[in-house]
Amino acid sequence: MKICTWNVNSLKARAEYVSGFLDDVAPDVLGIQELKLETDKVPREMFEERGYHLAIHGQKQWNGVLIASKTPIEDVHMGLELGDMGQSRLVACKTAGLQFVNLYCPQGQAADSPKFTYKLGFFKQLRAWIAETYTPEDPLVVMGDINIAPKPHDVWNLEKMQGVPTYHPLEHEQWAGLTDWGLQDVVEPHIEPGTFSFWDYRGMSFRFNQGFRIDHVLMTEPLVERVQGAWVERDWRKKKGDLKASDHAPVVVDFT
């Protein structure tokens, strides 16, 4: 079973590109972020004709999250009350015998920006909601564009990132709150340090591997031993013919 998270940076702009990924990699459960489409504008047929069931929480022009699963989906939950300020950043469901939460967390812009205050508030409410909704004994998968690089080797230039959102001490406190509750990063043990999932379009960042590891799959303890491997699909950050890639690469977990 392959579980995948991917910020596609506009499903509308990259529908054909994503279709190729579905045919080539064929994940069993896929969490997509940054749909940039209203729910009723999502091209459901591109998923359904490949056997996927969908849970969608869309938003016009911005944000938007989706879970696609080859197994029927139940108990869909959308939104983070008090935390997302009406932005479509969370969708959760039950599928394949597991609980899934797919997130597009705020980026934060700058440490003195209201957007960073919003980011910290989002994480505070997220942690409270997870603790109220699940237990560490539940078979829970939390995945998505978390927009936090947890470790020094998860940023390409540590000196430049001191006190900067994505690698800020207050964000690391929020990350620690998630892991202290009972979630484990199941990707890091299977990749080399300096493996990234996001590269800015500017300055040839991808060519020079000037990236960040901000896309994550976290699991509760009952699931961790079932992880057989994990990797970043770096080739799916590359242009395919005339089709331009997202600035994020898919992150895949091999799960039994």
Q: What is the pLDDT of residue 220?
A: 98
Kindly state the DSSP code that residue 61 receives in the 8-state scheme: S
pTM: 0.98
DSSP H helices, the chain, are 15-24, 44-48, 114-133, 169-181, 221-224
Start-to-end Cα distance in the chain: 6
pLDDT-above-70 percentage for the chain:
100
Q: What is the pLDDT of residue 15?
A: 98
Cβ atoms of 15 and 43 within 8 Å: the answer is yes
State the chain's mean pLDDT as an integer.
98
pLDDT score of 144: 98
Evaluated on CA atoms 25, 31, 36, 37, the torsion sign reads positive
Q: For residues 212 and 125, what is the distance between their CA atoms, to the nearest angstrom?
A: 25
Cβ partners under 8 Å of residue 161, min gap 6: 149, 155, 167
Give the Cβ contact number of residue 62 at 10 Å.
15
Query: Which domains, ranges and CATH numbers included, belong to the chain?
Result: 2-255 (3.60.10.10)
